[in-house]
Amino acid sequence: MSLFFLSALVLPKIAWSAILPELILLAAPLVLLAVSALSARRLPTGVYAGGMGAAGLASLGASVWLWTQVTPHGAGTAVDGAIAVDGFSVLVMILVSSVVVLAALIGEGYLRREGIGGPEYYVLAMFSAAGAMLMASADDLVLIFLGLEIMSIALYVLAGLDARRQGSGEAAMKYFLLGAFSSAIFLYGIALVYGATGSTNLPQIADFLAHNVASSDGLLLAGMALLLVGFFFKIAAVPFHMWTPDVYQGSPTPVTGFMAAVAKAGGFAALLRVFFASFGLLRDDWQPVIWLVAVVTLLVGAVLALVQRDVKRMLAYSSINHAGFILVGLEAATTRGIAASLYYLFVYGFMVVGTFAVVTVIARRGDEAHDLGSYRGLAQRQPFLAAMLALLLLAQAGVPLTTGFLAKLYIISAAVEAHSYALAVIAMVSAAIAAFFYLRVVVLMYAGAKSGVGLPAPLAATGAGEGAGSGELSPVAAYGPGAASAAELEGDRPEASRPDGAGGGEGHGEPDAAGVPATIALAIALCAGFTLLFGIWAQPVVELARQATLLFH
């Protein structure tokens, strides 16, 4: 009798292979936690970092395998329609897996330096990454919400990881309160959309909208508006960006880099999917909102970054500016625009992780030295770091021969193609404003050792503060007199600084006041290498993003 009931119960067919990357990143932290709980002695942080690196590589492998499955067979769904298996989600999985590997490398160096033991960083980072992947592949609003929460709750704790620093706890608190607020708004939006369309499944919503004239339905519009607010919080779009500078500044620096890459990847992936694929028919309703938010985000991000003295705050505002660019691709609401946004998201992840890795090293023990003054004359003390940071910042500014340039180019050309001329012009203006504060750091690194000749006024004022800071490092300043040559100051072409930096990295191993841990150096080199290699040899990644969007479910 009981057997009869069991056979009558229809279980959904779960294609485990479709969620293999997520499963790996959910299982690995559980194993790490068990290992740490069961081992008699405290394990060195390298063990956990190795575990996380291995899990990241495994999930990267699984993602690439999924890609080879998706490309010939086309997009599909799994787990009873709750998961979309398409190029879009798989590409985000590849990005997040790569970031996990990089975060393991960076975290190892950071935690060893700070003397923070235990598996927490690695465990939480992997959970968070799994949540971001879930957001990217979810084909159901409820699953997007679950992914969002898995990602965010882990990030709240990560932000407060450095318990000794008050700023870290404060960042966790602020992130938590505003994050929970935005999650609740998002959830209420889902509820309203469910009431208006009768489903939380994205294809079913699209289907409903295709067969019913619901464009004047207040319930649906209110739901969409609340969903947008929730997304804007997560991706840090103005006017929902207030938490960003505080949280970016207060969090441990490796966490900031991870957060910038992963939270943006998850948030934008879900935003693009929901609004382009599901609410695509209502684009006349949401396009003006995205237009307005994109404009404000671009300008506020660029302008407020100008006045920051703290490098992490500056990078926080710069990340707001980047979010504006990605929104421009969504505003175009064309396949090309989505491909451009996806490409931007992909290459931005590597740029921002690399940049914050450099900031991690420069901050030195205690994670406090984030003032612009710490970067003065860096090229002489740390030629490798300076070259890498210069390359990554120039890429963020959109200098040619880097992925950052291509990303901005594709976004703007997609906007022009969609006849959003005003938006394209505003985006270019904001990129020009942004270039100033990126170049300011680069100039400071390469020219700062001398007096602030030729520097803009705000920089001249910084000179007084860091006399002591650079003084204690002066013995090392004899190294690499050629690094700060005038030629590099003028042009500072990335390909010129790259070989110089690579050489400096190997040869400059002897202890410095802020020696570069080998693992972080490797992560920085990987990020910079990716940015430069695929900036020059553009075809593969561009093609990947284009193909991913064609395989959009």
Partner 1 sequence: MTDVSGAWYLSLAAALFGIGAFGLLVRRNVLVMFMCVELMLNAANLTFVTFARMLNDIAGQAVVFFVLVVAAAEVVVGLAIIVAIFRRRREATADDLHILRG
> Which parts of this chain interact with partner 1 (CB under 8 A)?
142, 145-146, 149, 153, 156-157, 160, 163, 166-167, 169-174, 176-177, 180-181, 183-185, 187-188, 190-192, 194-195, 198-200, 245-246, 249-250, 308-310, 313
Longest dimension (CA), the chain: 89
Q: Which is nearer to partner 1, 247 or 357 (CB)?
A: 247
DSSP states along 343-360:
HHHHHHHHHHHHHHHHHH
Query: Please, which residues bridge with residue 201 across strands?
Result: 140
Give min distance, CB of 196 to partner 1, in A.
9
Give min distance, CB of 17 to partner 1, in A.
24
User: What tokens were used for 439?
Assistant: 């170049």
Q: Which is nearer to partner 1, 145 or 384 (CB)?
A: 145
Cis status, amide bond into 44, omega within 30 of 0: no
Query: Please, which residues bridge with residue 310 across strands?
Result: 371
In whole angstroms, what is the distance from residue 312 CA to residue 297 CA? 18
Give min distance, CB of 431 to partner 1, in A.
24
Q: Where are the alpha helices (DSSP H) in 45-165?
A: 45-73, 87-114, 120-137, 141-159
Give min distance, CB of 133 to partner 1, in A.
18
Q: Which is nearer to partner 1, 250 or 337 (CB)?
A: 250
Give min distance, CB of 124 to partner 1, in A.
10
Q: Which is nearer to partner 1, 191 or 435 (CB)?
A: 191
In whole angstroms, what is the distance from residue 344 CA to residue 531 CA? 12
Q: Which is nearer to partner 1, 247 or 444 (CB)?
A: 247
Q: Which is nearer to partner 1, 162 or 488 (CB)?
A: 162
Q: What angle do CA 125, 130, 134 make, to 5 degrees?
A: 145
User: What tokens were used for 469?
Assistant: 């800071």
Burial class of residue 173, CB neighbours in 10 A (0-12, 13-18, 19+): middle
Residues in the chain: 553
Give min distance, CB of 189 to partner 1, in A.
9
Give min distance, CB of 371 to partner 1, in A.
11
Instruction: Provide the CB-side half-sphere exposure for 166 (13 A, CA).
Output: 0
Give min distance, CB of 202 to partner 1, in A.
14
Give min distance, CB of 129 to partner 1, in A.
17
CA dihedral (121, 270, 75, 330) positive or negative: negative
Q: Which is nearer to partner 1, 122 or 243 (CB)?
A: 243
Q: Which is nearer to partner 1, 166 or 212 (CB)?
A: 166
Extended beta strands in 316-463, E state? none
Q: Which is nearer to partner 1, 146 or 289 (CB)?
A: 146
In whole angstroms, what is the distance from residue 549 CA to residue 553 CA? 9
With beta carbons less than 8 A apart as the criterion, state whether 354 and 528 touch.
yes
Q: Which is nearer to partner 1, 80 or 512 (CB)?
A: 80
User: What tokens were used for 419?
Assistant: 């006849």
Strand 76-78, strand 83-85: pairing: antiparallel
DSSP states along 145-170:
HHHHHHHHHHHHHHHT--TTSHHHHH
If you search the block for the tokens 């994205």, which residue do you land on? 202
Q: Which is nearer to partner 1, 204 or 547 (CB)?
A: 204
Give min distance, CB of 283 to partner 1, in A.
25
Closest CA to 114 of 359, 366, 356: 366
Q: Indicate left, alpha or beta for 74 from its phi (over 0: left) and psi (-120 to 50: alpha).
A: left
Give min distance, CB of 144 to partner 1, in A.
12
Q: Which is nearer to partner 1, 194 or 479 (CB)?
A: 194
With beta carbons less than 8 A apart as the criterion, state whether 247 and 192 touch.
no
With beta carbons less than 8 A apart as the criterion, state whether 483 and 386 touch.
yes
Closest CA to 415 of 313, 303, 290: 290
Give min distance, CB of 63 to partner 1, in A.
26
